[in-house]
Structure 1
Amino acid sequence: MAFGVADTIIAGRYSEGALAALSVGAAIFVSVYVSLMGVLQALLPVWAELHGANRGSEIGRSVRQSLYLAAIAVVVGMTVLLLPGPALRWTQVPADMRGEVEAYLAVLAFALAPALLFRLFSTLNQSLGKPKLVTWLQLASLIVKLPLSVWFTFGGAGLPAMGLVGCAWATLCVNWAMLGCAIWLLRHGAFYRDYQLWKRIEAPDWRQIRLFARLGVPGGLAVLVEVTSFTLMALFIARLGTAAAAAHQIASNLLAVAYMTPLSLAIATSARVSFWLGAGDATRARHACRLGFELTALFALLYAGAMAAFRTPLANVYSDNPAVIAQAAALLVTVAIYHVADAFQTLCVFVLRCYRVTLAPLVIYCTMLWGMGLGGSYLLAYRGLGPWPAMQSPLAFWLMSAIALALTALLFVALLRWTMKARAR
């Protein structure tokens, strides 16, 4: 996430046009990357249950089979990133912005494979209760990413200024370095030896891969709907001008930073719930879920309050343009409400996967986030909605999306309660 924060600040300091192009390019890349990451992240309950049931010897073969799923994900993702033209034309992104966006995405297409494989490594560690190693690797990568992004973007020491695409080149270099470190650790780390990861890879076991797909594909599609309901805002807002697009990028980046805490708590909670379900202890699984909700509520309210109270200073970190700062600060009050709803629905959907509930969340996402959220936002912004005239402002998108996400969170809480009661019976 800090990669995105760094790129947003650096692009904003480079030029307003680069920040606006980043808003569109990042929206497309995040839609692809996070959706495919959702497919792979859905494997966490599988490995956590094997770990909880003391069936560690089966984990190695399961991980090797997951590589086939990862390969499919890489091919699909690279195709979309290398051919973004239809999406840019459909959302009417200004023609003068498209060239920079396409160049940015072309570089990130080749950073996708190491990023997804590193996510697989991260998911394995989370399922085994060893997330700190991944944390240290990512912190180290940030130390490399920051100076590389500045150097490639602004130039210096004989290197010409690349602008926005320089941020993408820095990401590509760091992603491959992170994957190299992960492979070395898997090969030489004493912790991984008992899981027999380095046996010769077997032929595709389609029964196992279908099991992965039944969890991963609905999960990935649900994430796709959730993320695109958020990121497509950037593409629709781009037609309002560079100041509006830049303000939206600031608001969305701050929201994404705040989202890392509920996402982390959701991953941790689902890992423990799956572990105890695998161990046959439903009571401890429910206790882990309850603790996750308490922590999520605490941090969500804390972050929402900070975004609302410090909205102008936060916007000023990203830009020195008064028009951009004013628009971004106006958005952050609604963004704070959005964040609270986002935190609760994220925890619910991760825990529901532990109970193998994946299709119902997908249906709810499609109806609420695409229908009410994105569709309603577009009408309120450009056509008018009922008695309200067209707002012609990014605020329309954030208002409708916040309402849709709050209703989604309420439905997910009710679904999770019903699922856990049914499991107890």
Structure 2
Amino acid sequence: MDAAGISTSEPAGAWREELRATLSLAWPLILANVTQQVIQATDVLLMGRLGSTPLAAATLALNMTFTFNVLLLGLLIASSPMMATALGQRSNAVRDVRRTFRAGLWLLIIGLPPYWLILWNVGTLMRWLGQAPELAEQGQTFLRAYMWCTAPWLLFQLLRNFVAALERPRIVLWLSLGGIALNALLSWSLIFGHFGLPALGLVGGGVGSTITWVALCGALIVVVRRDRQFRRFHLFGNWWRFDGQRTLAMTKLGGPIGITMALEMGVFALAAYFMGWIGAPAVAAHAVALQIAALTFMVPLGLGQAATVRVGLALGRKDEAGITRAGWTAWIMGVGFMGSMALVMWAVPHWMVTLFLADVAANALTIELAISFLKVAAAFQLVDGAQVIGAGMLRGLHDTRWPLFFALFGYWGVGLGIGSWLAFGADWKGVGIWVGLASGLAVVAVLMLARWNLRDRIGLTRLAHD
């Protein structure tokens, strides 16, 4: 093997087969990620037509939501490597997968009520964080309509982990594509008052998203209960029986994942609040640039999800060479894609920004700021892709605790430290915040890759030796 742990003696056919398997699993996950992000981007686009202030208010509220969302999502993400490893081992796979899914249901039942209580009072939190009363009031108005979509959205993600572990992710893709059209129609009608519906403004965006995710989640439940390959698992059988042992195991594995994701999302959320101190145009520009960066991020995110499944399956089979191929195949594809996206962002930033903001005099400052932010986002595309795929590779080995420490140091120590100093100490303002975000992502990417390269030496592949 070379210094990166890649075998130089394996036949090329094994790598071609891994490439084929990874692409087969990843492309529906990627497109599903993109379509789900487009659902959110549609809301941002429509609310942007209400003006910079409503867009800024909704953005601040959504950033608060996403930070708490990913805490619960991280717990559910643990189901992916747990299910994949059980399927790779084959013995008692049906029972183990069902136990893991049931544990995920109970984590939702326990976690959602206090989460909703926080979201109901998000306006107070926004004021505590120094936001203008108008932004806080409009943000709370929007979120009290939007917050109810979190339950069906999270359950949809748990079901998605199940179908992905069985390497059948296309179902999620087709449902998500339908969700784009449904959400666009509902939100457009409810925000602006079409087809005889009232013009609810920001509230309409929240109601439209909630109805969309209830429909998508309900459709996926029907699929897993009727499809012959899925229904043999009886996922919802005796769901009311609390499995303390499996729930605790999922919490131990998923807790660090959720905190890691929250640390990353929290930095971006706090960056939005820093923008609020600079002004509403900066917040709106940050929302647009982040939305564009988030769309490209869906590709390495999907590859990272595929890597978790493929590495987990190889770990369950005790296939060390398969672990190596699964991880590096996804990583190389993801980083290569993000490099190409960096070139696109650098070449046509004005065109990309004006997809979200009308190119009129009233938005001139916001557009200028968004373009400057997007140019920095172009610079961190490579490291953003590297860190998320690296995290997915390590999750496939059930390694989640050290990535948590990497995130704490990289995002909050390096990223927030550099960003706040450049923004307010060096007076770089919004650009300084984005440079700080890029620095934090770079540090985390390097640490994730270093740990992956040391996986055998530090015992992450010990299950493959048992």
Class of the TM-score when normalised by the shorter of the 2 chains: over 0.9
Specify whether residues 13 and 85 from structure 1 end up closer, same or farther in structure 2 by C-alpha distance, changes over 3 A only: closer
Specify the alignment match of 2:228 in structure 1.
190
Identity of aligned residues (%): 27
Specify the alignment match of 1:120 in structure 2.
158
Specify the alignment match of 2:421 in structure 1.
379
| Post-superposition CA distance 1:220-241 (Å, at most 9, x none) | 0011001111121111211222
In the alignment, structure 1 residue 294 sits paired with structure 2 residue 332: yes
Specify the alignment match of 2:342 in structure 1.
304
Q: Is the 8 A contact 1:153 1:161 kept in 2?
A: yes
Specify whether residues 158 and 199 from structure 1 end up closer, same or farther in structure 2 by C-alpha distance, changes over 3 A only: closer
Q: What is the number of equivalent residue pairs in this alignment?
A: 419
- Cα distance in 2, alignment partners of residues 85 and 234 from structure 1: 15
> Alpha-carbon deviation of 1:318?
1.1
Specify the alignment match of 2:445 in structure 1.
409
- Cα distance in 1, alignment partners of residues 423 and 458 from structure 2: 42
Q: Is the 8 A contact 2:99 2:246 kept in 1?
A: no
Specify the alignment match of 2:93 in structure 1.
56
In the alignment, structure 1 residue 27 sits paired with structure 2 residue 69: no
> Alpha-carbon deviation of 1:81?
1.2
What secondary structure is seen at the aligned counterpart in 2 of 1:64? helix
Corresponding letter in the other structure for 1:401: L
Greater mean alpha carbon deviation, residues 317-326 or residues 196-205: 196-205
Specify the alignment match of 1:419 in structure 2.
455
Q: Is the 8 A contact 1:23 1:248 kept in 2?
A: no
Q: Is the 8 A contact 1:81 1:105 kept in 2?
A: yes
Corresponding letter in the other structure for 1:168: G
In the alignment, structure 1 residue 323 sits paired with structure 2 residue 365: yes
What secondary structure is seen at the aligned counterpart in 2 of 1:144? helix
Corresponding letter in the other structure for 1:57: V
| Post-superposition CA distance 1:39-92 (Å, at most 9, x none) | 211210000011111133222233123211122232242122112134312321
In the alignment, structure 1 residue 8 sits paired with structure 2 residue 52: no
Specify the alignment match of 2:427 in structure 1.
390
Specify the alignment match of 1:367 in structure 2.
409
Specify whether residues 125 and 62 from structure 1 end up closer, same or farther in structure 2 by C-alpha distance, changes over 3 A only: same
5+ long unaligned stretches in structure 2: 1-36
- Residue 275 of structure 2: which of 216, 229, 237 is its match? 237
Specify the alignment match of 2:312 in structure 1.
274
Corresponding letter in the other structure for 2:177: L
> Alpha-carbon deviation of 1:339?
2.2
The aligned runs of 1:157-236 (5 Å cut-off) are: 157-201=195-239, 203-236=241-274
Q: Is the 8 A contact 2:75 2:254 kept in 1?
A: yes
- Cα distance in 2, alignment partners of residues 91 and 340 from structure 1: 32
Question: What is the RMSD of the two structures over their aligned residues, measured on CA atoms?
Answer: 1.6
| Post-superposition CA distance 1:147-189 (Å, at most 9, x none) | 1111111113333322222111100001111111122112222
- Cα distance in 2, alignment partners of residues 19 and 79 from structure 1: 23
| Post-superposition CA distance 1:341-371 (Å, at most 9, x none) | 1110111112112222211111121122112
Q: Is the 8 A contact 1:27 1:235 kept in 2?
A: no
Specify the alignment match of 1:46 in structure 2.
82
In the alignment, structure 1 residue 84 sits paired with structure 2 residue 122: yes
Specify whether residues 100 and 233 from structure 1 end up closer, same or farther in structure 2 by C-alpha distance, changes over 3 A only: same
- Residue 37 of structure 1: which of 73, 84, 99 is its match? 73
What secondary structure is seen at the aligned counterpart in 1 of 2:406? helix
Q: Is the 8 A contact 2:353 2:371 kept in 1?
A: yes
Greater mean alpha carbon deviation, residues 330-339 or residues 370-379: 370-379
- Cα distance in 2, alignment partners of residues 202 and 107 from structure 1: 29
5+ long unaligned stretches in structure 1: none
Greater mean alpha carbon deviation, residues 113-122 or residues 346-355: 346-355
What secondary structure is seen at the aligned counterpart in 1 of 2:177? helix
Corresponding letter in the other structure for 2:187: S
TM-score, length basis structure 2:
0.87
Greater mean alpha carbon deviation, residues 158-167 or residues 276-285: 158-167
Q: Is the 8 A contact 2:146 2:203 kept in 1?
A: no
Specify the alignment match of 2:376 in structure 1.
334
- Cα distance in 2, alignment partners of residues 38 and 336 from structure 1: 27
- Residue 345 of structure 1: which of 369, 382, 387 is its match? 387
Q: Is the 8 A contact 1:77 1:112 kept in 2?
A: no
Greater mean alpha carbon deviation, residues 341-350 or residues 154-163: 154-163
> Alpha-carbon deviation of 1:420?
3.8
Corresponding letter in the other structure for 2:148: F
